[in-house]
Amino acid sequence: MTNSSLIPDFTQYSLALFKDEKLIHASDGGGLRPLWDALEKHKDQSGLLLHDKVMGLAAARLIVRSGIIAEIFTMVASRPAKEFLEERDIRLTAFDVAANILTKHKSTVCPGEVIAIETSDPDTFLQKIKAMMDNRMVNYLS
C-alpha cells in the first residue's frame, strides 16, 4: 500500500485517514479522541492508511482492535507501540522511536500509555481509555 506521494503533512493535520490515496478523514485535535472518532466513523472500511503525529501503545491497541488500518506513518512512536504493531503485521513508519509517549510537559508517561501498558484485558483496556477520554472532556468543559 505504500505510496511515496502520501507523505504526512502534520502542518495540515495531526491525524489523517486515506483510502486508495484519497483523504477520507482529518483532524487537528490531540490525544486519543481524534483517533477514536476516526476509527468509529470509518469502522466499515478496511486497508486504510493512517497518518498520526504520535503513536503510543494505547493508539496501537485501538488500531489493531478496529481492524481497518493496514499502514501507519507517524512522527514518533513508543517502543511498546512499535513492537505491538510489528507483532500484528501492521506496517509502521516512524521518524523517531521513544521509550514511551510523554505528556505535553514531558514530565510523566501519558495516561493512555500507562493504561495500555498496565491493562492486558482488551475489554478493561477499552473501558479505561473511554473513561479517561470522557473525564478529559468533562474537565475541558468545566
92-105 per-position pLDDT tens digit: 999 999 999 999 89
Residue 55 in any domain: the answer is yes
Residue 139 lies in a domain: no
Whole-angstrom distance, CA of residue 61 vs CA of residue 86: 12
Orientation of helix 33-41 relative to helix 57-66, angle to 10° = 10
Examine residue 94 and state whether it is found in any structural domain, yes or no: yes
Question: Kindly report the CA angle at 102 between 53 and 142, in degrees rounded to 5?
Answer: 85
- pLDDT at residue number 96: 97
Tell me how crowded residue 62 is: count the other CB atoms within 10 A of its CB: 21
Residue 91 lies in a domain: yes
Note whether residue 142 is domain-resident: no
Q: Tell me how many domains the chain contains.
A: 1
Q: What is the pTM of this model?
A: 0.90
Check which CATH number belongs to the domain holding 57 and give it.
Answer: 3.40.140.30
Q: Does 120 map to a domain?
A: no
- pLDDT for res 2: 47
The reported pLDDT for the residue numbered 7 is 84
Domain range spanning residue 82? Answer: 15-100
Per-residue pLDDT at 88 exceeds 60: yes
C-alpha distances in Å from residue 67, one per residue of 2, 39, 43, 125: 18, 9, 8, 17
Torsion of CA 97, 65, 68, 130, to 10 degrees: -90
pLDDT at 135: 84
Q: Quick check: is 111 in a domain?
A: no
